[in-house]
Each structure stands twice: as structure tokens, then as C-alpha cells.
A and B are shown apart, each in its own frame.
Chain A
């Protein structure tokens, strides 16, 4: 049995698969919000918590992730000064989608998983587009939505790493 197998046999630590990624994604959001220009180009602005919404639902169903996503979404709203409740709904929409299709997603190939991640992220952005249109009375720019979507899509390697690390921790959910 490998060292990884030994660690996988232990019960999941809430801080390990929920708390630490939460803090890291909040920190990454602040870092990427810094007004830095590199070669006259601003930094991309991916939605880090969307990666967690996908990964947490794949790793295992739990009571805690919806509330963690609620907190992260509110943090995004406050940090970016969006309408209060917009990003929590988007993140929870993504989590709900993955939770409903979890049996189809788990154990799939890297590329298939990425495709699933792309679809779920698109659903979350679609929810945000609709909600923002209803709230502001005007449709956001689709190109701007597409840029942020692509930046978020590029996070999948991190998502895959998180899933790989914790997916086998509790074999009851295979």
C-alpha cells in the first residue's frame, strides 16, 4: 500500500478538502484583482470558487459545501461589488448540476471531466447572465462573459488535482 493509499484510508478532514481550498481561492481572487498590468495587459479574472463547486460535488456529497459556496459567493459579491447573492446562486447552480450528474462524472477520463467542467461552468455563467440581466435591466457583454468563462475553464488542472487527491478518501462514494 502506498503512502497515498494510507492517507486515503483516513476520514476526510473538513479543513483539508473544504477549509484550505476555500481560503486559497479567496486569496487567489484578491491576488488576481490586483491592478497589475504585464506587458500592458491586465491579469485574467477567473472565478476560482467555481472550480471548488465542481470538485467538491465530485469528491463526495456533503452538507457543508453548499454553505461554504454560499460564503464564497458572498465574498465574491463583496470583493467585486456585484449584486448581493449573484455569485452564491451561480456557484450553487453549478454545485447542483454536478450533484445531479455525479454518477456520470466520477471516474471519467481527464478530457471528459474537463468537458463536464466546461458545461457546468457554462451553466453557472448562464445563470449569472440571466440574473444580472434581470437585476440591472441590461444584458452584460457576451464577449466579457466569454473571456471570464475561458479564464475559469483554464483552472481545470487545479480542479483535477483536488479531485485526484480526495476522490478515493472515502470509498463509500465511489
Chain B
């Protein structure tokens, strides 16, 4: 029944005016919605139910519609591959030859890079987990450049995750549903990305404007040149540093723009890095330590004016420069027989700089070979990797500080405090979980005792003799003055572990060095 057949059929409404009234009401509603839009807050709740619902419905539709085209492309690729296999094989061989040269060069640079990182004590980023996705819907207009990907919170995707194609950065996640997520492309008019220019190390903000080449704003550093490579700077924490973005080009308007790497190929298949950016931290207060760890520093007079008297405090017992206490520990270590008849290995005197100590350690690939048990039994040792190089080069868990990080002037307590947040396994002396005598020496609350007493009173023992040997080896590597105490403790541990017959015998390679008892 139409409206005219009903009781209101005789009512004559001036339709133009009523349409205008309806128009005004609709405009008011739309304006209120625009004013209430909270997408820029990047909050999960800003991605409302309607968007979730439409995404959930549109994603399978888009996936279904694009499937025939994908299949057609795959079929054409297969036919093309069959008919052009010979020429393609020839081309690939040439590319492989070139790639092998690059691989050799890359490996050399990787080794060099690892050494520099070890020298500088750089914390390398851990590898990021990622998920692969297919984009099923694409908005390419001037007011929105987004895509729908067919993975969502069920696969661990959260807002802010960076998205990459096989060539470079595509954008980041701005909305997540159960099995669908929304990617805001770098070209979106609301996209802002901090980038760095590789050649000049300059900084800029990559601002999308709905066009194919986003522009560079707030350029800092040396003047740009056409062809400069651009990558994410990591500033602000939304993107990790070093993801390839594109190449600088001159725009029609005379400004600098970026030709995106991701434009070089279709971005149907993307990779979503499960990288949680700093801006997503829910409660920043949770990061603040509830209670500052106690840290005892040495008295300046001891390091500047002269040596500390023996056994006055736990600090001096554990970490003071060569003192009678540490000398006694060294003597104890020698008495335990830990210093075997292995030929002495000359060592750089004192290795005054802890970073240099790490570098020295990394540069001795032959040293672990002399300690097969240590090399094979270290809990963090990578397979096929020399233990020494492992110590020096591997990431945040093992900074060079592991080898006497504090240097000769820093107390064991200082090292313990400084390394308290490091992962286990990197430090023998500073990690509170480790049983070595140096642990006892690092406790500021302990009364001063001779180092050998601490060394023989380790509260726990390593589970296997190989670990004890590894600890002994690691205790060997540090140039810190506290080493004799550690060495004595580790030597005791190695001895008390009673290796089984047939087990590799670990010899201590270094005699009393310059830090031994006078």
C-alpha cells in the first residue's frame, strides 16, 4: 500500500519545501558527524562498529571479486613462463652472477658492521615478527588512500603496525577487526611519516596528499638532491628505523617529493610487521620503576687519590683496582689449580677500554677453539659461531659491557646496577641469577670479606660443567679489576662441578695479568 492510498493521502505537502527541510536536517547530522570524527586519535574505539561491520562484509566481497583477475594473471604468467623459459633462464643466470658478487660484498660488510657495532656498543634491534596478508579492497581517491588486508587481530595485528611490500614501506595499520585490518597508505592525505635521507642523514616529514608521490616537509640537514634514497627514521617510534621508503624527486610544484619504492610493484601482497610503536603504550607510568635500584658508587678518593684499603667495604673487595683482597683471590685461584699448564696467551695490557675489550674479544676467532667446552656449552652460543665473537657482536643482550663493561674505574656494583636490566646469560658477574662469587661481591649490603671467601661460598652451582667452564672463560675476558675474584669463583665452580671422565677439559688460558696481585 502506497502512502497515497492511506489516511495521509489527501495531505498536500509542499514537496520542495519539505525536501529542503529534510536536506537541512541531513546536513546538520552530517556536520555533527564530521565534527565528532575521532580518527586522528588513533584509538581503537575510534574505529567504530560501523567500520568494523563494513570491513568485515567488504573484505570477502573484494577478495572474491579480485580472485578471477588474480587467477587470470597467474595463468598468463604460467603461459608466459613456459614460452619464454629459455630467455628468462639466460637472464636469471646473468642476474645470479651479479648477485653473487653482491652477496660476497654484503657478507664482508656484515662482518665489518658487526665489529663496529661491537666497538660502539650499539644495541641492535631484534628481528621483528610479521604476518603476510593480501589486500582485498583499495581506496585510491584524493581524500582517502587506504587498503583492506585480509588479516586482523586474530593474527596478532594491532593499530600502528607498519606494512611493507616486497619493495618498501606501504603504510601502517589504522583499524583492526577480527580478520580484517585497514592500512593507511603513505599517500593518504592524513599520513605523516618521519624519514631520513640516507646520503645526508637529514630528516624530513613525508606528507601524503592523496597523489602518487607524497611530499617532503620540514626538511632538515643538507640540501636534497634528486635521487637521494629515503628510509624511515624511526623518530616518534611508529615505524622502526631503516625501512626503505623511496627516492627523492622534484615535483611539478617545485617541491621535493618521494617516488615510493612500493609503487614499483603491485601491493596486493603485503607484509605486516608486528611492531608495537611507542605511542601505543597504554600506561606510561607502568614503565617507571617503582623503586630505584640501590647503586653504590666508589668513593672518589679511592680512584683518584689512591688505592682502596683491603677489605674495607664490599665495593673495594669486589671491584677496587688491584688490592690485597683481589690479589688474594688471584692467589687462591692459582692454588686451586685452575691455571693449568696451557701456554699463556698474551693479552693487551689491561684492555683499559671496555669497548676495546669487546673488540679484542670479537677479533679472536681462534680463542674459542682453545676452549671447545666453553664454546659449545655457552647457553647463548649460536651454532657454528665462535663464542668470543658471539659475546662481542650479538645484539642487546651482550654488549661489550659483558667484558668488563665498567672499565677499570667502575665498581662491580656499578656494573651490576647498570646491567640489571640486561637479559640473563650476558653477564657472569653482574647478573644476580648467576652463582659466581662475584655476585656476592656485587651485593652492597654484604659486609666486607676476603674475596676468596666469597668465591668458595657460591650459593648455587651451574647445572653442567660446561657452563661452569663457560663462566670461567667469560670471567677471563674482562679487564675489570674485579676479575681475580670472579676468576677465583669461576675456577672454583669449574673444579667443584667435577666433570665426567671423557668430558673436555677446560684450561684457563691466561696467567695472572697486569691486574693480578702485586
Query: Measuring CB to CB, which residues of chain A are less than 8 angstroms from any residue of chain B?
Result: 11, 30-31, 33-38, 42, 45, 47, 60-67, 69-70, 73-75, 78-86, 88-89, 92, 95-96, 99, 128-129, 131-132, 135-136, 138-141, 143-145, 147-148, 173
Check B261 for interface membership: any CB of A closer than 8 A: no
A132 in contact with B143 (CB, 8 Å): yes
Supply 18 A–B pairs (Cβ within 8 Å), ascending by A: A33-B139, A35-B267, A61-B16, A61-B20, A62-B15, A63-B18, A66-B22, A66-B27, A75-B54, A81-B51, A85-B33, A89-B34, A92-B23, A92-B27, A141-B142, A141-B209, A144-B141, A148-B141
Check B369 for interface membership: any CB of A closer than 8 A: no
A148 in contact with B142 (CB, 8 Å): yes
Q: Which one of B35, B137, B140, B146 lies within 8 Å of A30 (CB-CB)? A: B137
List of A residues within 8 angstroms of B211 by Cβ: 141, 143-144
Query: Measuring CB to CB, which residues of chain B are less than 8 angstroms from any residue of chain A?
Result: 2, 4, 15-16, 18-23, 25-27, 29-37, 39, 50-51, 54-55, 58, 61-62, 65-66, 69, 135-144, 146-147, 174-175, 182, 184, 189-190, 207, 209-212, 252, 266-268
A82 in contact with B137 (CB, 8 Å): no
Looking at B23, B147, B268, the one whose CB has the most chain A CB atoms below 10 A away is B23
Min Cβ gap B410→A in Å is: 50
Min Cβ gap B299→A in Å is: 57
A79-B58 contact, Cβ under 8 Å, with A92-B30, A132-B189, A141-B209:
yes
A33-B62 contact, Cβ under 8 Å, with A45-B141, A80-B144:
yes
Min Cβ gap B172→A in Å is: 13
Min Cβ gap B145→A in Å is: 9
Looking at A99, A136, A173, the one whose CB has the most chain B CB atoms below 10 A away is A136
B143 in contact with A128 (CB, 8 Å): yes
B30 in contact with A73 (CB, 8 Å): yes
Q: Taking CB as reference atom, which chain B residue is nearest A145?
A: B142
Q: Taking CB as reference atom, which chain A residue is nearest B51?
A: A78
A42-B30 contact, Cβ under 8 Å, with A78-B50, A85-B37:
no
A131 in contact with B34 (CB, 8 Å): yes
A35 in contact with B147 (CB, 8 Å): yes
Q: Which one of A64, A86, A96 lies within 8 Å of B34 (CB-CB)? A: A86
B16 in contact with A78 (CB, 8 Å): no
Min Cβ gap B192→A in Å is: 9
7 nearest CB pairs, A to B? A85-B34, A141-B211, A85-B33, A88-B30, A144-B142, A80-B139, A61-B19
Min Cβ gap A144→B in Å is: 4
How far apart sit A11 and B36, CA to CA, in the bound complex (Å)? Answer: 40
List of A residues within 8 angstroms of B37 by Cβ: 83-85, 135
A80 in contact with B141 (CB, 8 Å): yes
Looking at B20, B27, B189, the one whose CB has the most chain A CB atoms below 10 A away is B189
Q: Taking CB as reference atom, which chain A residue is nearest B69?
A: A36
How far apart sit A65 and B21, CA to CA, in the bound complex (Å)? Answer: 12
Min Cβ gap B337→A in Å is: 72
List of A residues within 8 angstroms of B50 by Cβ: 74, 78
Total A-B contacts with CB atoms under 8 angstroms apart: 178
How far apart sit A141 and B18, CA to CA, in the bound complex (Å)? Answer: 38
Q: Taking CB as reference atom, which chain A residue is nearest B33?
A: A85
How far apart sit A31 and B61, CA to CA, in the bound complex (Å)? Answer: 8
Min Cβ gap B52→A in Å is: 9
List of A residues within 8 angstroms of B2 by Cβ: 11
A80 in contact with B18 (CB, 8 Å): no
List of B residues within 8 angstroms of A96 by Cβ: 23, 27
How far apart sit A143 and B142, CA to CA, in the bound complex (Å)? Answer: 8
B34 in contact with A45 (CB, 8 Å): no
List of A residues within 8 angstroms of B23 by Cβ: 66, 92, 95-96, 99
A136 in contact with B189 (CB, 8 Å): yes
Q: Which one of B22, B36, B143, B207 lies within 8 Å of A82 (CB-CB)? A: B143
How far apart sit A61 and B31, CA to CA, in the bound complex (Å)? Answer: 22
A85 in contact with B30 (CB, 8 Å): yes
How far apart sit A141 and B141, CA to CA, in the bound complex (Å)? Answer: 10
Q: Which one of B19, B139, B146 lies within 8 Å of A99 (CB-CB)? A: B19
A34 in contact with B34 (CB, 8 Å): no
List of A residues within 8 angstroms of B31 by Cβ: 85, 89
How far apart sit A147 and B175, CA to CA, in the bound complex (Å)? Answer: 27
How far apart sit A82 and B138, CA to CA, in the bound complex (Å)? Answer: 12
